[in-house]
Amino acid sequence: MRKIFVHGLSALDLIHTVSDLPKYAEKYKSNSVYVSIGGNAANASVALSRLGVKVFLSTVVGNDEIGNILKQKLLSENIDLSYTHYIDNFKTSISSIIIDKNGERLVLNNRESNDVAIKNDIDYEMFDGFLFDSRDIKNSIKILKQIKNIKKPKVLDAEENTTNELLNYFSHVVFSYQGLKSFTGIDNIERALKTFAPKTEFQTLVTNGERGCYYIQDKIIENIPAQKIKAVDTLAAGDIWHGAFLFKLVKRSSLVNSIEFANYISSLKCKKFGGSSGAPFLSELKENFAL
Protein backbone atom coordinates (compact mmCIF):
# COMPACT_ATOMS: atom_id res chain seq x y z
CA MET A 1 0.00 0.00 0.00
CA ARG A 2 1.32 3.42 -0.96
CA LYS A 3 1.93 5.98 1.77
CA ILE A 4 1.22 9.70 1.41
CA PHE A 5 2.23 12.51 3.77
CA VAL A 6 -0.21 15.44 3.93
CA HIS A 7 0.46 18.66 5.85
CA GLY A 8 -1.85 21.60 6.43
CA LEU A 9 -5.24 22.67 7.68
CA SER A 10 -7.95 20.50 9.19
CA ALA A 11 -11.31 21.76 10.43
CA LEU A 12 -14.85 20.73 11.20
CA ASP A 13 -17.55 21.85 8.75
CA LEU A 14 -21.17 22.49 9.71
CA ILE A 15 -23.00 22.44 6.38
CA HIS A 16 -26.51 23.73 5.67
CA THR A 17 -28.41 23.52 2.39
CA VAL A 18 -30.81 26.25 1.31
CA SER A 19 -32.68 27.08 -1.87
CA ASP A 20 -30.93 30.44 -2.22
CA LEU A 21 -28.05 32.08 -0.36
CA PRO A 22 -29.25 34.54 2.32
CA LYS A 23 -29.43 38.21 1.28
CA TYR A 24 -30.74 39.88 4.41
CA ALA A 25 -30.18 39.84 8.17
CA GLU A 26 -33.12 37.56 8.89
CA LYS A 27 -33.84 34.05 10.14
CA TYR A 28 -33.62 31.32 7.49
CA LYS A 29 -34.59 27.66 7.62
CA SER A 30 -32.13 25.23 6.09
CA ASN A 31 -33.34 22.22 4.12
CA SER A 32 -30.75 19.89 5.65
CA VAL A 33 -27.63 19.97 7.81
CA TYR A 34 -24.49 17.85 7.95
CA VAL A 35 -21.28 17.77 10.00
CA SER A 36 -18.17 16.90 7.95
CA ILE A 37 -14.39 16.93 7.97
CA GLY A 38 -13.09 20.20 6.52
CA GLY A 39 -9.86 22.04 5.79
CA ASN A 40 -7.67 21.69 2.69
CA ALA A 41 -5.29 19.03 3.96
CA ALA A 42 -7.91 16.98 5.81
CA ASN A 43 -10.26 16.98 2.80
CA ALA A 44 -7.49 15.78 0.50
CA SER A 45 -6.60 13.11 3.06
CA VAL A 46 -10.16 11.77 2.97
CA ALA A 47 -10.01 11.52 -0.83
CA LEU A 48 -6.67 9.69 -0.78
CA SER A 49 -7.74 7.28 1.95
CA ARG A 50 -10.91 6.35 0.07
CA LEU A 51 -8.76 5.64 -3.00
CA GLY A 52 -6.87 3.01 -1.02
CA VAL A 53 -3.82 5.00 0.08
CA LYS A 54 -2.36 5.02 3.60
CA VAL A 55 -2.53 8.70 4.56
CA PHE A 56 -0.50 10.34 7.33
CA LEU A 57 -1.97 13.73 8.22
CA SER A 58 0.26 16.37 9.80
CA THR A 59 -2.01 19.05 11.26
CA VAL A 60 -2.95 20.89 14.46
CA VAL A 61 -6.12 20.13 16.43
CA GLY A 62 -7.17 21.68 19.73
CA ASN A 63 -7.90 19.64 22.84
CA ASP A 64 -11.46 20.93 22.77
CA GLU A 65 -14.93 19.64 21.98
CA ILE A 66 -14.66 20.43 18.26
CA GLY A 67 -11.22 18.82 18.11
CA ASN A 68 -12.50 15.60 19.66
CA ILE A 69 -15.28 15.35 17.09
CA LEU A 70 -12.85 16.05 14.25
CA LYS A 71 -10.36 13.47 15.55
CA GLN A 72 -12.98 10.73 15.59
CA LYS A 73 -14.14 11.60 12.09
CA LEU A 74 -10.56 11.50 10.76
CA LEU A 75 -9.92 8.14 12.42
CA SER A 76 -13.15 6.79 10.96
CA GLU A 77 -11.68 7.55 7.51
CA ASN A 78 -8.62 5.40 8.33
CA ILE A 79 -6.33 8.44 8.33
CA ASP A 80 -3.19 8.01 10.43
CA LEU A 81 -2.88 10.80 13.01
CA SER A 82 0.60 9.90 14.33
CA TYR A 83 1.87 13.31 13.20
CA THR A 84 -1.15 15.32 14.30
CA HIS A 85 -0.59 17.77 17.18
CA TYR A 86 -3.21 18.06 19.92
CA ILE A 87 -2.80 21.39 21.66
CA ASP A 88 -4.26 22.77 24.88
CA ASN A 89 -5.68 26.30 24.67
CA PHE A 90 -5.92 26.03 20.88
CA LYS A 91 -9.29 26.40 19.17
CA THR A 92 -9.90 23.79 16.51
CA SER A 93 -10.92 25.39 13.23
CA ILE A 94 -14.64 25.29 12.49
CA SER A 95 -16.62 26.53 9.50
CA SER A 96 -20.31 27.21 8.98
CA ILE A 97 -21.19 26.69 5.34
CA ILE A 98 -24.37 27.44 3.42
CA ILE A 99 -24.90 25.72 0.06
CA ASP A 100 -27.61 26.75 -2.39
CA LYS A 101 -29.59 24.74 -4.95
CA ASN A 102 -26.83 25.23 -7.57
CA GLY A 103 -24.11 23.88 -5.31
CA GLU A 104 -22.55 27.30 -4.72
CA ARG A 105 -21.49 28.15 -1.20
CA LEU A 106 -21.02 30.82 1.45
CA VAL A 107 -18.35 30.03 4.09
CA LEU A 108 -17.91 31.56 7.54
CA ASN A 109 -14.69 30.30 9.15
CA ASN A 110 -13.21 30.64 12.62
CA ARG A 111 -9.53 29.74 12.49
CA GLU A 112 -6.77 30.46 14.98
CA SER A 113 -3.26 31.26 13.75
CA ASN A 114 -0.93 28.28 14.11
CA ASP A 115 2.34 28.88 15.97
CA VAL A 116 2.88 25.23 16.86
CA ALA A 117 6.27 23.73 15.98
CA ILE A 118 5.90 20.45 14.07
CA LYS A 119 7.69 17.21 14.92
CA ASN A 120 11.06 16.73 13.28
CA ASP A 121 11.74 13.05 14.04
CA ILE A 122 9.92 11.64 11.02
CA ASP A 123 11.34 9.20 8.48
CA TYR A 124 10.11 11.02 5.39
CA GLU A 125 11.84 8.53 3.09
CA MET A 126 9.04 6.02 3.72
CA PHE A 127 6.47 8.15 1.88
CA ASP A 128 5.64 7.80 -1.82
CA GLY A 129 4.37 11.36 -2.22
CA PHE A 130 3.72 14.61 -0.39
CA LEU A 131 0.86 17.11 -0.40
CA PHE A 132 0.85 20.52 1.28
CA ASP A 133 -1.62 23.37 1.43
CA SER A 134 -0.56 27.00 1.90
CA ARG A 135 -2.22 27.50 5.29
CA ASP A 136 0.81 26.80 7.51
CA ILE A 137 3.75 28.16 5.55
CA LYS A 138 6.33 28.32 8.36
CA ASN A 139 5.98 24.67 9.34
CA SER A 140 5.61 23.59 5.71
CA ILE A 141 8.96 25.11 4.83
CA LYS A 142 10.61 23.36 7.81
CA ILE A 143 9.35 20.02 6.50
CA LEU A 144 10.13 20.82 2.87
CA LYS A 145 13.74 21.61 3.70
CA GLN A 146 14.05 18.13 5.18
CA ILE A 147 12.54 16.38 2.17
CA LYS A 148 14.17 18.57 -0.48
CA ASN A 149 16.35 15.73 -1.79
CA ILE A 150 13.63 13.07 -1.77
CA LYS A 151 12.81 12.57 -5.45
CA LYS A 152 9.12 11.83 -5.14
CA PRO A 153 6.05 13.85 -6.19
CA LYS A 154 5.48 16.95 -4.06
CA VAL A 155 2.24 18.83 -4.74
CA LEU A 156 1.25 22.25 -3.41
CA ASP A 157 -2.37 23.38 -3.13
CA ALA A 158 -1.56 27.04 -3.81
CA GLU A 159 -4.06 29.57 -2.50
CA GLU A 160 -3.94 33.34 -2.07
CA ASN A 161 -1.30 33.42 0.67
CA THR A 162 1.31 31.42 -1.29
CA THR A 163 4.86 32.83 -1.13
CA ASN A 164 7.83 32.62 -3.48
CA GLU A 165 9.85 30.80 -0.82
CA LEU A 166 7.20 28.11 -0.43
CA LEU A 167 7.09 27.42 -4.17
CA ASN A 168 10.76 26.43 -4.38
CA TYR A 169 10.33 22.91 -3.04
CA PHE A 170 7.62 21.37 -5.22
CA SER A 171 7.43 19.22 -8.33
CA HIS A 172 3.86 20.39 -9.04
CA VAL A 173 2.15 23.61 -7.95
CA VAL A 174 -1.62 23.70 -8.43
CA PHE A 175 -3.09 27.19 -8.12
CA SER A 176 -6.76 27.90 -7.86
CA TYR A 177 -7.75 30.65 -10.29
CA GLN A 178 -8.14 33.03 -7.36
CA GLY A 179 -4.77 31.95 -5.99
CA LEU A 180 -2.98 32.57 -9.28
CA LYS A 181 -4.67 35.94 -9.72
CA SER A 182 -3.65 36.98 -6.21
CA PHE A 183 -0.07 35.76 -6.63
CA THR A 184 0.59 37.26 -10.08
CA GLY A 185 -1.76 40.24 -10.03
CA ILE A 186 -3.02 39.15 -13.46
CA ASP A 187 -6.75 38.52 -13.87
CA ASN A 188 -6.46 36.18 -16.85
CA ILE A 189 -5.44 32.52 -16.58
CA GLU A 190 -3.66 32.21 -19.91
CA ARG A 191 -1.76 35.47 -19.57
CA ALA A 192 -0.84 34.72 -15.95
CA LEU A 193 0.41 31.24 -16.86
CA LYS A 194 2.47 32.51 -19.79
CA THR A 195 4.00 35.18 -17.58
CA PHE A 196 4.69 33.01 -14.55
CA ALA A 197 5.24 29.37 -15.59
CA PRO A 198 8.29 29.78 -17.89
CA LYS A 199 10.28 31.23 -14.96
CA THR A 200 9.85 28.14 -12.79
CA GLU A 201 11.29 24.63 -12.64
CA PHE A 202 8.11 22.99 -11.34
CA GLN A 203 4.97 22.09 -13.29
CA THR A 204 2.37 24.85 -12.83
CA LEU A 205 -1.34 24.05 -13.09
CA VAL A 206 -4.46 26.13 -12.49
CA THR A 207 -7.89 24.77 -11.57
CA ASN A 208 -10.99 26.81 -12.30
CA GLY A 209 -14.11 24.94 -11.24
CA GLU A 210 -16.26 23.66 -14.09
CA ARG A 211 -13.75 25.00 -16.62
CA GLY A 212 -11.28 22.37 -15.49
CA CYS A 213 -7.50 22.55 -15.37
CA TYR A 214 -5.01 24.68 -17.33
CA TYR A 215 -1.29 24.08 -17.83
CA ILE A 216 1.51 24.77 -20.31
CA GLN A 217 2.87 22.03 -22.57
CA ASP A 218 5.58 22.87 -25.12
CA LYS A 219 4.88 26.58 -24.65
CA ILE A 220 1.18 26.09 -25.45
CA ILE A 221 -1.67 26.63 -22.99
CA GLU A 222 -3.64 23.41 -22.61
CA ASN A 223 -7.02 23.01 -20.97
CA ILE A 224 -8.65 19.80 -19.79
CA PRO A 225 -12.26 20.74 -18.98
CA ALA A 226 -14.19 19.29 -16.07
CA GLN A 227 -16.93 16.79 -16.75
CA LYS A 228 -20.33 18.38 -17.27
CA ILE A 229 -22.54 17.51 -14.32
CA LYS A 230 -25.36 18.91 -12.24
CA ALA A 231 -23.46 20.02 -9.13
CA VAL A 232 -25.14 19.38 -5.79
CA ASP A 233 -22.26 20.57 -3.59
CA THR A 234 -18.88 21.98 -4.69
CA LEU A 235 -17.49 22.21 -1.15
CA ALA A 236 -14.10 20.41 -0.86
CA ALA A 237 -14.04 19.61 -4.59
CA GLY A 238 -10.74 21.41 -5.12
CA ASP A 239 -9.07 19.72 -2.15
CA ILE A 240 -10.27 16.33 -3.35
CA TRP A 241 -8.91 17.20 -6.81
CA HIS A 242 -5.44 17.67 -5.32
CA GLY A 243 -5.57 14.35 -3.52
CA ALA A 244 -6.65 12.48 -6.65
CA PHE A 245 -4.01 14.25 -8.74
CA LEU A 246 -1.21 13.21 -6.37
CA PHE A 247 -2.63 9.69 -6.25
CA LYS A 248 -2.02 9.32 -9.97
CA LEU A 249 1.38 11.02 -9.91
CA VAL A 250 2.54 8.55 -7.27
CA LYS A 251 1.49 5.75 -9.63
CA ARG A 252 3.68 7.39 -12.31
CA SER A 253 0.77 8.26 -14.55
CA SER A 254 1.21 10.96 -17.18
CA LEU A 255 0.34 14.57 -16.41
CA VAL A 256 -2.71 14.43 -18.69
CA ASN A 257 -3.97 11.19 -17.18
CA SER A 258 -3.46 12.55 -13.67
CA ILE A 259 -5.48 15.68 -14.49
CA GLU A 260 -8.27 13.70 -16.16
CA PHE A 261 -8.49 11.41 -13.15
CA ALA A 262 -8.55 14.33 -10.71
CA ASN A 263 -11.30 16.01 -12.78
CA TYR A 264 -13.30 12.79 -12.68
CA ILE A 265 -12.95 12.24 -8.93
CA SER A 266 -13.82 15.86 -8.26
CA SER A 267 -16.93 15.61 -10.45
CA LEU A 268 -18.12 12.54 -8.54
CA LYS A 269 -17.72 14.47 -5.30
CA CYS A 270 -19.78 17.41 -6.66
CA LYS A 271 -22.71 15.08 -7.25
CA LYS A 272 -22.94 14.44 -3.51
CA PHE A 273 -23.86 16.68 -0.62
CA GLY A 274 -21.65 16.84 2.48
CA GLY A 275 -18.28 18.39 1.66
CA SER A 276 -15.42 15.88 1.83
CA SER A 277 -17.84 13.14 2.92
CA GLY A 278 -18.89 13.10 -0.74
CA ALA A 279 -15.44 11.92 -1.87
CA PRO A 280 -15.90 8.70 -3.89
CA PHE A 281 -14.78 5.24 -2.82
CA LEU A 282 -12.93 2.84 -5.12
CA SER A 283 -16.13 0.89 -5.73
CA GLU A 284 -17.75 3.94 -7.34
CA LEU A 285 -15.19 4.39 -10.11
CA LYS A 286 -15.92 3.47 -13.69
CA GLU A 287 -13.85 0.82 -15.43
CA ASN A 288 -12.35 3.35 -17.85
CA PHE A 289 -10.82 5.11 -14.86
CA ALA A 290 -9.27 1.94 -13.47
CA LEU A 291 -6.49 2.48 -10.98
Give pLDDT, residue 29.
86
Measured in degrees and rounded to the nearest 5, phi and psi for residue 254 equal -70, 165
- Please name which of 180, 182, 212, 174 lies closest in space to residue 193, comparing C-alpha atoms: 180
Where does residue 242 fall: left (phi above 0), alpha (psi -120 to 50 degrees), or beta otherwise? Answer: alpha
What is the domain partition of the chain in residue ranges? Answer: 3-22+29-111+124-282
pLDDT at 115 over 80: no
Rounded CA-CA distance 153/199 in Å is: 20
Confidence category of residue 6, pLDDT binned at 50, 70, 90: very high
What is the rounded end-to-end Cα distance, in angstroms, of the chain? 13
pLDDT at 224 over 90: yes
Please write the tens of the pLDDT for every residue from 249-270.
999 999 999 999 999 999 999 9
Type of residue at 129: G
Give pLDDT, residue 240.
97
At what angle are helices 237-250 and 40-50 packed, to 10 degrees? 50
Helix (H) or strand (E) holding 248: helix 237-250
| 33 CB burial (10 A radius; 0-12, 13-18, 19+) | exposed
Helix (H, G, I), strand (E, B) or coil at 97: strand
CATH code linked to domain 3-22+29-111+124-282: 3.40.1190.20
Lowest mean pLDDT across 41-50, 214-223, 278-287: 278-287
